[in-house]
Amino acid sequence: MDNTFITRIILLFFFCPAVGICQMQDEASFSGTFVDAENGHPITDVLVRVAPEEIGRVYPDREFAHATATDAKGAFSLTIPNEPQTYYAFSLMVLHPRYQAKLLQQEMLLGKNKYDLGEITLRRTLSLRGNVSGTKNAAGLVVNLKMHNKSANFFRAAAPIEHAAKIDTAGNFHFAELYPIEYTLTVSQNDVIIAYVASVNPRKQAQVSVRIAKVETLRGKVVNAQERPIVGAQIYATRHSETPEGHDVVLAATQTDDAANFQIQVPETEARFLSLEVSKIGYFSRIYENVDIEKMPSIIPLEKGITVEGRVILPADVHLDAQYTVKVFPAYTQMELSLNPLALHKPFLSKSFPVTASAFIMDRLFAEKYTFYIVGDGISATGIDVDASMNSEDILIVADQPVKVLQGQVLWADTGKPIHNAIVSRSWYPWELHPHDMSITLDRFEVETDAEGKFKFSNLTEARYQLYIRAIHAVFEDTTEHYQRTLIHKQVEIPACGTGYRIYLGSRDGIPFAK
């Protein structure tokens, strides 16, 4: 037999364990035990979810694709990917119906594939008991708790936002599985709020007493500018929060009858927290703030809005199943690009129409000047100034210009290598916003670069756009055996013209962009 072949077999035999270890290093196993923080007893059926964090990603992975549950001894074991040069840490989310959720993060070490987290304590969720007084019949009443907005995103993701409980015949109620945070409490009967408590915290109070407030009645009549009755007008009474973190609630709602009269009952509320809104399709809504019910006018006039009719000419290649949207802005609106999520110059009015219908109608406008914009998939945004008070004929908006693409490649300035998983956020113009937009809805203006560092924004109007680019520069330090991660960010402004751009990030930064 060939001696070389025998030697290879012997070497393979001796090195198999080492190879096995190397393969295992591509996976990381986690173990630990969960115990009650009060008595130290093990907790069974704890849901343990793990997400590995990638070295080069700006945003951490929060999909938690790997999960298991603790056994009768409170122990768990779980294996996740641990590919070299890919992951640097892991996040562990712990969930149990009777315990407060917990989020842990630990850095992963190169070459290490076993992590014993030891004993992890969990605190029990809290309870809140209460009693409702001031009513002769408590049957059918419902108590609702809603988490305040100031609670951390972690709590908002892991804990129920709202809780509801029925009141028994003695007026008692009970909540479990609560967190040590602020809640707004309301008591309702037949979907009408009859008691409001701005803030309760089960960490500070295990018992709460709620007294049904005295009910006040507001009566009135809704008419138009000619003092003719408006039937079917909607009336909403709202109790506003005392703090920015709390919640506003609609105390009661009704509508005008056949004679345009209404009657609405609301719990006694300080005038500074009470508002009344009166609305009707085709009319401008009227909102009364700081409502003192005794001083409210008995006659509420609504002004009928002005209607503007128009026609559009769209690109010939627009898909017949698509829609176009007419967005209306006050004439003084600054139609400038922005990357600031708090600077939302949203449209005053927005309506969509099928592209097969060239005619549109916009109603409920004041006798003022506006800017109308036509937008949609495959439609380059086109605006026209409109004076609603002077409009006597159909307006015509020609929106047949082709849309553009903004695309490019992000590279490291020092090496010229592409940066994958970089976050590219682009600015927006007011015509791209919706009336309901908030800062958390603007992620649609953000993309992630691919393996070649490329990104692309489509369906744009020909204009200049700002780009805000963020990437992670990770360097492994031999002395600490950890990755030193640095967030590199840069802002540039370039036009959308279909040509690809090269954008460099790094210590030297190269040039802002190049065609």
- Residue 512 within a domain: no
**Residue among 475, 467, 470, 503 nearest 488 (CA):** 470
Give me the percent of the chain exceeding a pLDDT of 70: 90
Place of tokens 């001796």: 14
- Residue 510 within a domain: no
Give the single-character DSSP code of 58.
S
Residues 219 and 205 in one domain: no
Q: What is the per-residue pLDDT for 392?
A: 58
Residues 194 and 288 in one domain: no
Q: What is the per-residue pLDDT for 511?
A: 44
Mean pLDDT, residues 286-306 = 92
Residue pair 248/239 in contact by the 8 Å Cβ criterion: yes
Tokens representing 255 are: 């509508």
Q: Using CB atoms within 10 A of its CB, is residue 5 exposed (0-12), middle (13-18) or buried (19+)?
A: exposed
- Residue 514 within a domain: no
**Residue among 485, 509, 466, 425 nearest 57 (CA):** 485
Mean pLDDT, residues 184-202 = 90
pLDDT above 50 for 4: no
Q: List all residues 6 or more positions away from 17 whose beta carbon is below 8 Å from its beta carbon.
A: none
User: What are phi and psi for residue 318, nearest 5 degrees?
Assistant: -70, 135
Residue pair 413/509 in contact by the 8 Å Cβ criterion: yes
Residues 360 and 280 in one domain: no
Give the single-character DSSP code of 346.
-
3-class SS of residue 350: strand
Residues 237 and 172 in one domain: no
pLDDT above 70 for 288: yes
**Residue among 175, 177, 197 nearest 187 (CA):** 197
Residues 64 and 162 in one domain: no
d(CA 405, CA 315): 17
d(CA 79, CA 446): 32
d(CA 10, CA 68): 40
Tokens representing 208 are: 């709460």
Residue pair 157/123 in contact by the 8 Å Cβ criterion: no
Residues 419 and 477 in one domain: yes
pLDDT above 80 for 507: no
Q: Is the dihedral of CA 55, 60, 65, 71 positive or negative?
A: positive
Q: From its phi and psi, is residue 70 left (phi > 0), alpha (psi between -120 and 50) or beta? A: beta
d(CA 212, CA 138): 10
Q: What is the pTM for the complete model shown?
A: 0.74
Q: What is the per-residue pLDDT for 477?
A: 78
Neighbours of 332 (CB within 10 A): 9
Q: What is the per-residue pLDDT for 88?
A: 83
Single-letter amino acid code for the residue at 480: T
The residue segments making up the domain with residue 112 are 3-122
Residue pair 181/100 in contact by the 8 Å Cβ criterion: no
Residues 411 and 496 in one domain: yes
Give the single-character DSSP code of 162.
E
- Domain boundary (367, 383, 398) is at 398
3-class SS of residue 204: coil
Of the ranges 79-93, 145-159, 166-180, 443-457, which is most confident? 443-457
Residue pair 164/177 in contact by the 8 Å Cβ criterion: no
- Domain boundary (398, 413, 436) is at 398
More confident residue, 486 or 513: 486
- Residue 262 within a domain: yes
Q: What is the per-residue pLDDT for 508?
A: 58
Q: What is the per-residue pLDDT for 8?
A: 40
Neighbours of 177 (CB within 10 A): 16
Strand 423-426, strand 446-448: pairing: antiparallel
Kindly report the CATH number assigned to the domain that includes residue 194: 2.60.40.1120
Q: What is the per-residue pLDDT for 16?
A: 38
- Residue 277 within a domain: yes
Q: What is the per-residue pLDDT for 478?
A: 78
pLDDT above 80 for 3: no
d(CA 312, CA 375): 11
DSSP string, 88-150: EEEEEEEEETTEEEEEEEEEPPTT--EEEEEEEEEPBPEEEEEEEES-S--TT-EEEEEE-TT
Residues 97 and 16 in one domain: yes
Give the single-character DSSP code of 462.
S
Residues 392 and 436 in one domain: no
Mean pLDDT, residues 166-191 = 90
pLDDT 10s digits, 22-71: 333 578 899 999 999 999 999 999 999 998 888 888 887 767 889 999 99
pLDDT above 70 for 77: yes
Q: In whole numbers, what is the pLDDT of the chain averaged over residues?
A: 87
3-class SS of residue 252: strand
- Residue 248 within a domain: yes
Kindly report the CATH number assigned to the domain that includes residue 7: 2.60.40.10
Split into its structural domains, the chain has a count of 5
pLDDT 10s digits, 389-426: 886 578 999 999 999 999 999 999 888 999 999 999 99
Tokens representing 434 are: 């919706």
Tokens representing 228 are: 């003719």
Tokens representing 132 are: 């409702």
Residues 8 and 118 in one domain: yes
* Exposed e or buried b per residue across 375-396, where buried means at least 16 C-beta atoms within 10 angstroms of its C-beta: bbebbbbbbeebebeebeeebe
Q: What is the per-residue pLDDT for 483?
A: 78
Report the alpha-carbon angle 98-103-106, nearest 5. 140
- Residue 466 within a domain: yes
pLDDT 10s digits, 105-137: 888 877 788 999 999 999 999 999 999 998 877
pLDDT 10s digits, 305-364: 888 999 999 999 999 999 999 999 999 999 999 999 888 899 999 999 999 999 999 988
Alpha helices for 341-472 (secondary structure H): none
- Residue 113 within a domain: yes
Rg (CA), the chain: 31
Residue pair 463/429 in contact by the 8 Å Cβ criterion: yes
- Domain boundary (301, 316, 334) is at 301
Residues 273 and 325 in one domain: no
Residues 111 and 204 in one domain: no
